[in-house]
Amino acid sequence: MEEAINRPEVEVVCISLPNNLHEEAVNLCCKHKKAVMTTKPLARNAEEAKRMLLAVEKAGIFNGYLEDLVYTPKFIKAHESVKNGALGRILWAKSRETHPGPHSDWFWDIEQAGGGCMLDLGCHCVEITRSYIGKDIKPIEVMCWADTQVKPIDAEDHAIGLIKYENGAIAQFEVSWTFRGGLDLRDEVMGTEGTIWINSFLRTGFEMFTTGKAANYVAEKAESDKGWLFPVGDELNELGYNHMFMDMFNSMEKELNQKKLSMMVM
Amino acid sequence: MEEAINRPEVEVVCISLPNNLHEEAVNLCCKHKKAVMTTKPLARNAEEAKRMLLAVEKAGIFNGYLEDLVYTPKFIKAHESVKNGALGRILWAKSRETHPGPHSDWFWDIEQAGGGCMLDLGCHCVEITRSYIGKDIKPIEVMCWADTQVKPIDAEDHAIGLIKYENGAIAQFEVSWTFRGGLDLRDEVMGTEGTIWINSFLRTGFEMFTTGKAANYVAEKAESDKGWLFPVGDELNELGYNHMFMDMFNSMEKELNQKKLSMMVM
Amino acid sequence: MEEAINRPEVEVVCISLPNNLHEEAVNLCCKHKKAVMTTKPLARNAEEAKRMLLAVEKAGIFNGYLEDLVYTPKFIKAHESVKNGALGRILWAKSRETHPGPHSDWFWDIEQAGGGCMLDLGCHCVEITRSYIGKDIKPIEVMCWADTQVKPIDAEDHAIGLIKYENGAIAQFEVSWTFRGGLDLRDEVMGTEGTIWINSFLRTGFEMFTTGKAANYVAEKAESDKGWLFPVGDELNELGYNHMFMDMFNSMEKELNQKKLSMMVM
Amino acid sequence: MEEAINRPEVEVVCISLPNNLHEEAVNLCCKHKKAVMTTKPLARNAEEAKRMLLAVEKAGIFNGYLEDLVYTPKFIKAHESVKNGALGRILWAKSRETHPGPHSDWFWDIEQAGGGCMLDLGCHCVEITRSYIGKDIKPIEVMCWADTQVKPIDAEDHAIGLIKYENGAIAQFEVSWTFRGGLDLRDEVMGTEGTIWINSFLRTGFEMFTTGKAANYVAEKAESDKGWLFPVGDELNELGYNHMFMDMFNSMEKELNQKKLSMMVM
């Protein structure tokens, strides 16, 4: 890994390795003074994350955390409405990510993954809900149910949690690897003057019925390819990747005062 | 106009002028050998369009017609499914664009606009439906109702048409400037093995209720800013602009063998 | 048939026989002075219908035409809103009924059925759209495309029609026995001040995904029993049967001044 | 009250009084041997409910608890699918009822109401979720957040709870009197083989846009009468009243062996 990172033409490293290798990769970027971006979750636990943050700050390198779901076009527009007061005082923010289970085997190994669906999916939900409530408002109490209902793993495959903030607002997350029916990504925000409902994947205005004569790719984690299907037009855009990387590169170019960058994804 | 087009730094001209100026602008691009792209509708009528096409071909310049709604991410994915046979033989393709009326005054002048909502909106619908049926299949019969029901104009503000193709498929368009409720963009394709329903604007998985405490931009041609609203996350992407210009520039760069182009929008 | 109708305990005859037997049954009701109700379509053609109407009027018996889809709870409420002016002046009323084909063999025999999907389904759509436009407003022009695209029959299996009314309003029907995906029942009304969209069957707020472990009845003409399904909670109520028969019996009791009736369905 | 209940022509008493009067009314029915039905919630607390139950059993009168939301046509059909195994083993059942606040003043008085939105709305959600999980499965753990976020009352106006059942299934309720946007009634059930989503009120396939030229009743607790509205066709049927009373009267007639009953609502 060090050899790859240290190649002179590499200026930016984008880490999308299994969770247990994030810290090591970040440390190598620090050592070789390469700009670094890490996919979610940042680390396997708070201690690891804290050490990584201190390391990049000490090294003085550009660093970014790639939390895509606060960069979806719908989230960005909804967040703006919330900040402008369209919903009044925010009382309740919910975020849900459930699907039939992760795409790689290492997720099932708690040593590599660091946890279950709460770490894998909850990191999105917590970031989304606290963004609606206000990132300067402190959480003061957390209540959570988690269980391993279906999958043959040590970690939880289903969890529901409530986070109480100091201003009285409540955040709620629902995460599961046991959901049948596709990738269910929904957010809801409730305030004294209104509400916002976002469906980012399973119901986006695109519906197809097919007898299955020709098998087609439908969408990430879609579980069927006949009957009624719900494709997503532009998945990368709907999932926030375009806006996330745009923002990341804009920040980096601004900080580094340069226009063109060579990135390595690992 | 000629002065602007003839400026040496201008390499590509993007025409988004009122319809009656499209031909003149294209002719100037021919004269000065500038690559040219024209927004929809291409011209005010078939004769004008034919003359323009012959002119650019004779001049040998790069030329493109910017029909955005066959570049929406949903259309692209749906079209792929149709080509792959997911719907079997296509029997019926519908396309609808209705809204409360156009954004500029010149649309109301039949001399400048060249027609009414059938020209302004129908150009989308015809291109969409014939793409689903197959662009090599010939239309053999057209039936149309059009009327001026509400607006104080000479042209029609509402039209419904049926186009029969030589393979027996039927295309249907519904266009109106009298619709109340926002910008309604919907397509439906029916085949022997399935169906596709696309809602491109009014129901895309984003719903908001607000008492109206803070007025917000909702979406193009949205008619209200309180009660239940249906914002669109990333309008340009949903309307196909990103994918359309990408395709256009890719084609141009390929044809012109160069990487960087300076475009003038007029 | 006559023997059954003439049984002394029979007071009301409800005819749901194949279309070619409607007139004969009605004539027997006239002869034996029994109240009569006929399911849709009333007859195989206008002449037959006219003769039946004159016959019941001459006989002086209670008679009713059972057009269920103007008795759905959604239609009733929508119609009230339209009458109260919520949509302003009505410009355009659409009604659609499409499904994969009828449930009985006699529909395929043009002699028994009297026609194709236009008669079978269009009778609903015409009644719905003229109710929104106003039953006292006269139609002045009709335009229609019809074809046999898929089914091995003499009659049309798909038709689209436009009906122009004397006040300038336009009615539109879309009927098909070639639709794949279930029973698609949708109405749309557009006026100068608003619009109404009704989905009576395929999307009523009830969604189910199942791997198909247990086969279940989903809804009339549903084409799949696994994947994403859209059951209908109370089909008879959604299709207007409860409200239709209630209205019919109320009328009859009022006319006949009696409280209890014995009905025979044939 | 006693005088009314004791009237000789009264055979059945349907109690829809404020919560604090339920017990007294039931006791009077016991005394005068009248069949009794009580609207939700049964009582202000468990003790009261227990006493009422013992009283009617001791008196030997017919007694019923009117929990309408397990009688909605959607619930009945969904419940059947669940029992037939369409979702496999049930893992998670959610139920939500939120709206802008109750219709009568006595709800704000904790002495009369006995509690806040958890009692008023949660009684529905608990009954719905335990019906999906199985009424013979025991709850073993409850976790709940509740707060008074907006309304000037002693009781909670918002609550979220989790109930763990002995078979590992989790039930979840979300209830609120602070929601803006209408009456939001949604249930979701997740199992190893599928999922069911029910929207009972705010999205039932009936959509209307109106500039508000004519004010119309939209639906219970709808907060606006212009812009995009979501009327409900047949509210009583959607809310389960028809099926609930049908079931109740069938039970009663069976038990009492009689066909006609005279009911007093109080």
Mean pLDDT by 10 residues, chain D (266 residues): 92 94 97 95 97 97 94 95 95 97 88 95 98 98 97 95 98 97 96 96 93 80 88 91 88 74 76
Q: Predicted confidence band at C213 (pLDDT cuts at 50, 70, 90)?
A: confident
Residue A65 in this model has a pLDDT that exceeds 90: yes
pLDDT of residue B266: 78
D206 has a chain B CB within 8 A of its CB:
no
Q: Which residues of C touch D233 (CB under 8 A)?
A: 72-77, 238
Q: Which residues of B touch D209 (CB under 8 A)?
A: 180-182, 223
What token pair was written down for A224? 């069927």
Mutation for D interface: C218, C234, C239, C241, most D CBs within 10 A: C234
DSSP for D135-147 reads TTSPEEEEEEEEE
User: pLDDT per residue over C132-155, tens digit each?
Assistant: 999 999 999 999 999 999 999 999
Average pLDDT over residues C156-181: 97
Instruction: Find the helix or strand (DSSP H, E) in which D90 lies.
Output: strand D90-98
Average pLDDT over residues C15-32: 96
Q: Which residue of B has its CA nearest to C168?
A: B149
d(CA B109, CA C220): 50
Residue B199 in this model has a pLDDT that exceeds 90: yes
Exposed / middle / buried, residue C168 (Cβ in 10 Å: 0-12, 13-18, 19+): middle
Average pLDDT over residues A234-248: 93
Beta strand extents in chain A (DSSP E only): 12-15, 35-39, 63-66, 90-98, 139-147, 158-165, 170-176, 184-191, 194-199, 206-210, 227-229, 263-265
Residue pair D221/D200 in contact (Cβ under 8 Å)? The answer is: no
What angle do the packed helices B22-31 and B46-59 form, to 10 degrees? 10
Residue pair D128/D187 in contact (Cβ under 8 Å)? The answer is: yes
pLDDT of residue D266: 78
pLDDT of residue A221: 85
What angle do the packed helices A73-83 and A122-133 form, to 10 degrees? 30
| Helices (H) then strands (E): counts for chain D | 9, 12
Q: Predicted confidence band at C71 (pLDDT cuts at 50, 70, 90)?
A: very high
First to last CA, chain D: 9
pLDDT of residue B215: 66
pLDDT of residue B43: 97
pLDDT of residue D260: 65
Residue B212 in this model has a pLDDT that exceeds 90: no
Beta strand extents in B221-262 (DSSP E only): 227-229
Per the model's pLDDT, the better-predicted residue between A262 and B205 turns out to be B205
Q: Which residues of B touch C181 (CB under 8 A)?
A: 194-195
pLDDT of residue C249: 84
Mutation for B interface: D203, D228, D229, D230, most B CBs within 10 A: D228
pLDDT of residue C259: 58
d(CA D248, CA D243): 9
Q: Predicted confidence band at B264 (pLDDT cuts at 50, 70, 90)?
A: confident
D189 has a chain C CB within 8 A of its CB:
no
Nearest-Cα distance to chain C for B67, in Å, is 27
Q: Is the ipTM of this complex over 0.95?
A: no
Q: Which residue of C has its CA nearest to D210?
A: C194
CA C132 vs CA A188, C80, C129, D242: distances in Å = 36, 9, 5, 28
d(CA D76, CA D59): 31
Residue A218 in this model has a pLDDT that exceeds 70: yes
Nearest-Cα distance to chain A for D148, in Å, is 9
Q: Predicted confidence band at C260 (pLDDT cuts at 50, 70, 90)?
A: low
Average pLDDT over residues C73-82: 95
Average pLDDT over residues B198-222: 88
How many contacts (CB atoms, under 8 Å) link C and D? 134
d(CA D69, CA D186): 11
d(CA A131, CA A128): 5
Least confident of A166-180, A244-258, C77-91: A244-258
Report the relative pairing of strands B90-98 and B170-176 from DSSP bridges: parallel
Integer-rounded Cα radius of gyration of chain B: 20
Nearest to D143 among A143, A172, A178 (CB): A143
How many contacts (CB atoms, under 8 Å) link B and D? 36
The Cβ of residue A103 has, within 10 Å, a number of other Cβ atoms equal to 8
Q: Which residue of B has its CA nearest to D228?
A: B228
pLDDT of residue D258: 63
Residue B258 in this model has a pLDDT that exceeds 70: no
Q: Which residues of A touch B243 (CB under 8 A)?
A: 234
Q: Tell me if C182 and A224 make a contact (CB, 8 A cut-off).
A: no
Q: Predicted confidence band at B221 (pLDDT cuts at 50, 70, 90)?
A: confident
Q: Which residue of D has its CA nearest to C76?
A: D233
Average pLDDT over residues C151-179: 97
DSSP for A20-46 reads GGHHHHHHHHHHTT-EEEEESSS-SSH
Mean pLDDT of chain C: 93
Beta strand extents in chain C (DSSP E only): 12-15, 35-39, 63-66, 90-98, 139-147, 158-165, 170-176, 184-191, 194-199, 206-210, 227-229, 263-265
Q: Which domains are present in chain D?
A: 2-66 (3.40.50.720), 69-202 (3.30.360.10)
pTM for the model:
0.94
Q: Tell me if C224 and A229 make a contact (CB, 8 A cut-off).
A: no
Residue pair B35/B252 in contact (Cβ under 8 Å)? The answer is: yes
Q: Which residues, other chains included, contact D106 with Cβ-Cβ below 8 Å and sequence gap of 6+?
A: D18, D112, D113
Average pLDDT over residues A96-103: 93
A149 has a chain D CB within 8 A of its CB:
yes
Average pLDDT over residues B123-131: 98
Exposed / middle / buried, residue B260 (Cβ in 10 Å: 0-12, 13-18, 19+): exposed
Mutation for C interface: A224, A225, A226, A229, most C CBs within 10 A: A224
A205 has a chain D CB within 8 A of its CB:
no
d(CA D58, CA D56): 5
What token pair was written down for A233? 């037009």
d(CA C93, CA C98): 17
Q: Helix, strand, coil % (nearest 5) of chain D?
A: 35, 25, 40
B233 has a chain A CB within 8 A of its CB:
yes
Q: Count CA atoms closer than 13 A to D186's CA, side-chain side.
A: 15
Q: Helix (H, G, I), strand (E, B), or coil: what is residue D68?
A: helix
pLDDT of residue A263: 78
Q: Which residues of D touch A178 (CB under 8 A)?
A: 91-92, 190, 192
